[in-house]
Amino acid sequence: MRSSRLTFFLITLLTCSAAFASDTPHMAWLKAKCALCHGEDGSGNTPEGRSRGVPDLRSEAIQKLTDDELAKLITAGHSRMPSFKATLTREQVMLLVTYIRSLAKK
C-alpha cells in the first residue's frame, strides 16, 4: 500500500515538472524569475533592483529596442543582469519580450 502511494506521488511530481517544461509556460512562473530585480510592473522598484540599478523596462530607452535585441539581452545577460541562456527556451524569452511590450502600453 505504501509503495503504491509513493508511485502515485512520483507520477504526480513528474506530470507537474513536465507541465513546467512544456511550450506553454505559466506566465507567473516566468515573471517571477524577473520580478526579483525588475518588479511585477517592470519599474525596477525593488530592493534588489535599486541596489543593482536596473532600468525601467517601460521606458522609451528599453521599448525602442527591437524584439530581437531584447531577446538577445535576456538570453545573454548584460552587466549586472544575469544570463538566462541555460534556464529559458527561445519561446519563453519571446513570451517575456511580449510581456515587456505590454508593460509600456499601460
Judged by CB under 6 A, the stretch of 1-9, 15-23, 53-61 that binds ligand HEC is 53-61
Could you tell me the smallest distance in angstroms from the CB atom of residue 97 to ligand HEC? 8
CA-based angle 19:24:26, to the nearest 5? 70
Closest CA to 99 of 33, 25, 41: 41
Write down how long the chain is. Answer: 106
Residue with cell 509556460: 25
Site for ligand HEC in 58-77 (CB under 6 A): 62, 70, 73-74
Query: Cα 91 to chain center, whole Å?
Result: 11
Count of residues that bind ligand HEC according to CB under 6 A: 22
Among 56, 58, 96, 103, binds ligand HEC (CB under 6 A): 96
Note whether 84 binds ligand HEC by CB under 6 A: yes
> Is the Cβ of residue 19 or residue 78 nearer to ligand HEC in the bound state?
78
Joined together, the cell numbers standing for residue 56 give 525601467
